[in-house]
Structure 1
Amino acid sequence: MATTGNSLASDGMYSQLIDDEESRPDVRLGAHPVPPVRMIPRPSGSGPYRLATICLATLCAVLLIAVIAITSNNKTKPQGGGEATSEKQKQDTNVTALIATINKLQQEKNQLQKEKDELLAKLAATKAPEVIKPTPKATPAPIVCPVDWHLFNNSCYFISRTTRDWPESQSYCESQGGYLAIIHTAEEQTFLWNLLPRGHWNAFWFGITDEHTEDHWKWVDGTPLVGGFWEVGEPNNHIDEDCGYIVKTRVLDRVAIRSWYDAPCSMYCRFICEKEMGAGASTAIPH
């Protein structure tokens, strides 16, 4: 067979190499002798050799795969680390940008809040203008009338105990800072009526006269009389009666609002003075 011939030829060559090697003198490499190389006799037959070759090839393949795997792993590690670093840098950049955006939005919010407050202030000023509060007035002190004078509204009234004619009575009231009483309302008339004592014919001058023009009655301040509280049938100018007085008798049917009479100004009667009072005014008036 061809295989057997080739095997025999190989064996012969192998034997020849061994013989040549043994017949060579020692070869020195430097100072050290190089030992003779002995070739291991190749086992005869192809079965064990092929098995060993397959095993060796398999082992080499496993080692190669392991080396490739290790190399690939070593190469991918730096690459993965680079990607992680790049990703971290991106995240840091995003965080920085986000913080800057937040700060900008906060500034814009503050600006908008300021503008809002200004607009609200302008709106409030437009809708509700500032109201100027009036200066609080001091509480006026109560009016105190002098002794024997009686207060009604803002005036003090004096009922005399002595008699005078109408002109003298007016002069006396003026000397006290007043005048013969001017009576405009039923309330004032009733107040004075209640101060007067009852008597057989108690008469009291007050500040009305028509001495300048008959039947044109005027008050002592020059204003004309409107209405009045005359007794029925009065004034009648019976005997040149140009001055007015109030009469209060013991007759209980006689009432305040019908108690005025006219009489001669020269008659002597008691009288009623009036003095207008300011807040807190008090004057001791002799009588």
Structure 2
Amino acid sequence: MLCVTDRMKLIHTKGTQGIRGHTILFVVIGLLITETSTQAANSTDEELLNLKLRLNTWKNRYRVLCNKYSELAANSSAPVINCTGCPDGWFQVGDQCFLLTRDVRVDWQASKKKCAEIGSHLAILTSKEQHEALENERMRTRVAYTDFWIGLTDVENEGDWKWVDNSMLKTPFWNTLKSEPDNNQSGGEEGEDCAVVDSKSQSWYDVPCSFLYHRVCQMDAIPLQ
């Protein structure tokens, strides 16, 4: 029979072995979790790469087919298709590309400059389709704010609203329910000489040009090569 001392030693040995066994088990489980996570990450990366390759393949096929269609349509009564595209992050309406910015809010003049720096200009919105596309893009990208600078101002002559390309305003989308534009003097003696679009209501407001907003930039869509 085992004496008390021997029993204590045996219990201690079994306890130590048990702790070591649990420790080894936890290490093995940790390694398995790490390996599984790594495999999942690698699997996701491979899937994204494959999807990107497939997307590029379909883009090339679309380019070839679109150009071929345009060549044939030119000699028939078929409707013409613009074989154009937009850079990543931009959305397309007809033959125009638009960009909702997410960087810092700046005044109208600074916004005009920032659009020019990326080869574009503040947006010239002339149709309901463009306004609807703008709001759809805001919702799709989950942008919380709704007011954006557009390329419209009457800073040269009060009431004569012009676009940044110096063309006169022909199709207005002012918020007439709030009597816009109202040139409210609350923003300062200079009044409200620049326009913002409220993408949610798809209408415009005149505000002081010194106010700070995000902006909508615009440029011609790029022909597919």
TM-score range for the pair, normalised by the shorter chain length: 0.5 to 0.7
**Structure 2 counterpart of 1:238, from 177, 184, 188:** 184
**Equivalent in the alignment of 2:110:** 168
Greater relative contact order, per chain length (Cα 8 Å cut-off, separation 6+): 2
Query: What is the match of residue 269 of structure 1?
Result: 213
Q: Rg larger in 1 or in 2?
A: 1
Instruction: Check conservation: 2:121, 2:164, Cα contact below 8 A.
Output: yes
Question: How many pairs are equivalent?
Answer: 139
Instruction: Give the TM-score normalised by the residue count of structure 1.
Output: 0.44
Structure 1 residues 234 and 278, CA gap change in structure 2 (3 angstroms):
same
Give me the whole-angstrom Cα distance separating, in 2, the residues matched to 1:265 and 1:237.
11
* Matches for 1:33-182 after TM superposition, within 5 Å: 137=71, 142-162=83-103, 163-182=105-124
Aligned to 1:82: none
Q: Which runs of 5+ in 1 are unaligned?
A: 1-135, 250-254, 282-287
Aligned to 1:36: none
Instruction: Pick the aligned partner of 1:213 from 157, 161, 164.
Output: 157
Deviation at 1:279, TM superposition (A): 1.6
- Structure 2, gaps ≥5 residues long: 1-69, 74-80, 186-190
| Equivalent of 1:247 in 183, 198, 210 | 198
Deviations along 1:175-220, one digit per CA (max 9) or x if unpaired, are: 1111000011111222113223588863100110000000100000
Q: Distance in 2 between matches of 1:178 and 1:227?
A: 22
- 1:248 and 1:209 map into 2 onto residues whose CA distance is 18
| Aligned partner letter, 1:185 | S
TM-score w.r.t. the length of structure 2 is 0.56
CA root-mean-square deviation: 2.5
Is the 1:201–1:247 contact (alpha carbons within 8 Å) kept by the matching residues of 2? Answer: no
| Structure 2 equivalent of residue 37 of structure 1 | none
Percent of aligned positions that are identical: 32
Distance in 2 (alpha carbons) for counterparts of 1:141 and 1:201:
32
Which aligned runs of 4 or more in structure 1 are off by greater than 4 angstroms? 138-141, 197-201
Q: Decide whether the 8 Å contact of 1:141 with 1:280 is kept in 2.
A: no
Contact 2:96 2:220 in 1 (8 A): yes
Aligned counterparts of 1:200 and 1:137: Cα–Cα separation in 2: 43
